[in-house]
Amino acid sequence: MPRRDGMERKDLLKANVKIFKCQGAALEKYAKKSVKVIVVGNPANTNCLTAAKSAPSIPKENFSCLTRLDHNRAKAQIALKLGVTSDDVKNVIIWGNHSSTQYPDVSHAKVKLQGKEVGVYDALKDDSWLKGEFITTVQQRGAAVIKARKLSSAMSAAKAICDHVRDIWFGTPEGEFVSMGIISDGNSYGVPDDLLYSFPVTIKNKTWKIVEGLTINDFSREKMDLTAKELAEEKETAFEFLSSA
């Protein structure tokens, strides 16, 4: 069920828990255990978790939700600012929820300038923009699209789904990672287990792996914790609805 102008996420959650419980149950009953499930409908992370919980015999690693649209938006904002193409920007990260608490992080991102790869912070030399307006623009882009066309994103979302599926199928290029909402179990970034949280991943043989060893500064830590908190609250609300659905 799509989000309409002026609608609260909680209302959306209630309507969608029922839908994704049914979808999960149908997958459990009829799908191959090797099925790959990609959830796009919002609130995508929690809808994805609901579907996964409703299909206990399918590996939860086979469920992912779309944060590639946010990832692509973050790349585009950097590219616009530097006058390069989106393809010249790599390794941006979307941490957390596909909502306005998501954390678009470019502290590990690289941009190709005059044939050389440079860190985005070094290339832009504008920390206040990167820690301020850049983040809020990406966080609120979905709402801005709804406001402008009275409907949520269409072509950009479709493109992001294609990117997401292509990378699952063919893997990620050497030295590059992408953002994907996946089960948080066993991550090394202090995100609580059993959340559907967006991480930087590499993909090989149709299997994702969280990128390890990225340094997390205090600024990032706070933002990552904030979006985890929202996801934990959403999960709690969804599971209350789930037990009565």
Q: Which tokens in the block code for residue 210?
A: 């969280």
Tell me the C-alpha distance between 131 and 125, whole Å. Answer: 12
User: CA 136 from chain center: how many Å?
Assistant: 15
| Amino acid at residue number 115 | G
98 is catalytic: yes
- For the chain, the residue count is 245
* Beta-bridge partner residues of 209: 202
Catalytic residue among 71, 98, 108, 164: 98
Under 8 Å between Cβ of 196 and 63: yes
Tell me the C-alpha distance between 108 and 26, whole Å. Answer: 40
Tell me the C-alpha distance between 42 and 65, whole Å. Answer: 10
What are the catalytic residues?
Answer: 98
